[in-house]
Each structure stands twice: as C-alpha cells, then as structure tokens.
Amino acid sequence: MAKNTKKIALLTGGGDCPGLNAVIRAVTRTAILQYGYEVIGYKFGYRGLYNNESIPLTLDTVSGILHKGGTILYSSNKDNLFDYLVEENGKMVKKDVSDVAVENLKKEGVDTLVVIGGDGTLTSARDFARKGINVIGVPKTIDNDLAATDVTFGFNSAVSVATEALDRLHTTAESHHRIMLLEVMGRNAGWIALESGIAGSADVILIPEIPYDLNKIVEKIGEREKEGKLFSIIVVAEGAKSKNGDVVISKIVEDSPDPIRLGGIANKLALDLERLVKDHEIRSTVLGHTQRGGNTSTYDRILSTRYGVAAVELIAQEKFGNMVCLKGDTISYESLENVIGHTKDVDPNSELVKVARSIGISFGD
C-alpha cells in the first residue's frame, strides 16, 4: 500500500495560462487547511525538479494570487527530463535524466508530485508515474484541446480576451468600412476562434478543422455589402489553412518538444484578400500572448480552484497516476495512461458549428 502522503510538490510546465496560480493556491490551501500536508513548488517546471530548485508553498506565499495570470512557480516548455539537453565531455547531448528527478524527490521527502500542464507536461507526468512516483495531473491549456476533460482552465480567459478584441475591432471596422482580421491562438484546434467568433459576432470564422476557400470569404464579404454592411470581421485561428494550402509558421523553437510555432496567417490572408476585394482596406491584428496574460476570468478561477481541491482529494485517497478533469458539471478523474495523446478538435458537424452557421457566420468553406 502507498504510504500516507505528508509532503506535496507542485510544478507548472508548458506555456503559461490563466488559472495556474489559482490551482497552486487551491492545492496549497486545501493541503494545509484540510490535511496538514507540507507543500513545496519546483521552479521552472521540470527543470526545477532536475536542479532541485524549490520554494515552500504556505498560506502566505499563495496569498493574493487567485486572480493573477501566469505562475508564481514559473514555467518552461523545453525541459523534458526523459530527453534532456545536458553537457557531456564539452558537448551538448540529449539524455534521460529522469532518475536525477526521482532521487531529488526522495531527498526532499516528497510523497506526491502534482503536475499542472498540457499534453507534453502530462506525458512526462505519466512517465514518472510509470517509474513509481505518486503523481497527480491537472490539465491546462488555453487551446482547450485535451480530450479527457470537457474544459481546460485558461480557455475561458483566452476566449474573453479574444471576444473583447473582436468588440473593439467592430467599432473601428465600421467607422472605416474595413475588413478586419483577428488572429487568435489554436494550433490544431480552433476552439478559441470558434467561441470568440460566436461571442464577438464575427462574420467569418476560420479554424484548422475546416479548411477555407478564399473565394468563399470574398463571397461572404460581398453578401454583407448587398445587405448594406460595409465592413466585415474575420477571426482566424493561427493553425487555419486553405483547402490547398498549409499552415503559416512563424518560428522554430529548438529544444522544444513541439518546436513549430505558428503565426502570420492573418497577415497572409490580408494580402490574399487585398488582391480580390477592391473597395475596402484590409487590416490584421495578431492577438498573440495577450490571450494568455493578464487576469484570470471568474469561470477559470472557479474551475482551477475545483481542480486544485480535487487534486488534493485524490492524494488523500491515494488515487495516484490520475488527472483531474471536468465531465459535464462534475469534477472527476482519469488515468494518465488514458489521457496522453488524445486531443479534442472542433467537430465540423458539432452543434456549436451548426449554431454559428445558422446565424449566418461563414467558415469560408
């Protein structure tokens, strides 16, 4: 039988996301107030675990952070300890250094590691569980593309930022009779574009799951003109692509487990449309990391708090190797073995896409 947990360590990995601090706070408060556990946090994700760099997490350290985006523990989306860049004989080589992490956990007397992250970070969490470490996962990503949970925290905050941007673009687009493009995040899944597009009353939503045809977008702009609407708003996910084209890559981040960074589709589309739409100026805005920064939405504060409390309850019940998740209205859990690599894309036949189409939004298809 697993021994009684007395000391919990937390880490946050991958791209940051609103709600990380709320989870850190909820785990720490529940662990201390309900169970009297000791809590520490490793800095910079798995790198901190490798370097044994941690801070104590107390009621004081987690005070005043509920609403703040980012993570007081910092994060890294490069450090996979199962394939880690180390210097050996003057050369940089990739090695499995996970045993160093296991040793550090032992030295520190950590009974359970709570890992807050997306698919990459949770893959390592599963691999540490396979090495016998007591691990609990908490799913995060603004992209909302993890299949095992109905919602990841951070998504609602990102959608709110994108919706506000669309509201702001509307007023200026209308004044100048312009076509305005807004590029939002979403590499493989178009959830942010879809939901902000509906909430922010976009005329066209372009997502990776529904490849677009430029002529259909031009048609939609023309239809609006006939209705006397002399401006149009297009929200485009960074991973959107045309029927015969490919995604637009902005940079390659070496050492990242997922090195391709997308970006630039809105500018490309603006140039493409300029050739076909003569009587309007076209402008594009790239929302970028504003979608991940700033304050956490009320929905995400509550979801993150629920996840944090649930993570500690799993520890108390010794249900290790699991990830907390939301199914419908209920907080539940799923084995880390089953959650990895299962992504959740927008189903082109889903109710939400149909809703958008019903009210006249075009997907450019």
Site for ligand F6P in 232-291 (CB under 6 A): 238, 261-262
Torsion of CA 325, 122, 79, 134, to 10 degrees: 100
Query: Given the complex with ligand F6P, which of 84 and 155 has the nearer CB atom?
Result: 155
* In the complex, minimum distance from the CB of residue 111 to ligand F6P, in angstroms, rounded to a whole number: 30
CA atoms of 139 and 137, how far apart (whole Å): 6
Stretch that binds ligand F6P, among 105-113, 140-148, 279-287, 321-329 (CB under 6 A): 140-148
* Cα 365 from Cα 246, distance rounded (Å): 16
- SS3 assignment, position 121: helix
Size of the site for ligand F6P (CB under 6 A): 13
Binding-site residues from annotation for substrate: 141-143, 178, 185-187, 238, 283, 289-292
Please, which of residues 292-321 interact with ligand F6P by CB under 6 A? 292
> Looking only at residues 68 through 97 of this chain, which bind ligand F6P when binding is defined by CB under 6 A?
77
* 188 contacts ligand F6P (rule: CB under 6 A): no
User: Using CA atoms, how far apart are residues 103 and 344, in angstroms rounded to an integer?
Assistant: 35
Considering the rule CB under 6 A, would residue 142 count as an interface residue with ligand F6P?
Answer: yes
Q: What is the DSSP letter of 258?
A: S
- Where helices occur in 250-350 by DSSP H, the ranges are 265-276, 298-316, 336-339
The smaller minimum CB distance to ligand F6P, of residues 4 and 250, is found at 250
Among 111, 143, 195, 300, binds ligand F6P (CB under 6 A): 143
Cβ at position 146, least distance to ligand F6P in Å: 10
Cα separation of the two ends of the chain? 56
For residue 136, give the 3-state DSSP assignment: strand
CA distance 195 to 45: 30
Judged by CB under 6 A, does residue 162 bind ligand F6P?
no
Name which of 104 and 149 has its Cβ closer to ligand F6P: 149
Enter the tokens of residue 227: 């209705």
Least CB distance from residue 192 to ligand F6P, whole Å? 8
- Angstrom CA distances, 5 to 2, 137, 150, stand at 8, 16, 29
Whether 143 sits among the annotated catalytic residues: the reply is yes
Catalytic residues, which ones? 143
Q: Name the residues that contact ligand F6P, by CB under 6 A.
A: 15, 77, 118, 141-143, 185-187, 238, 261-262, 292
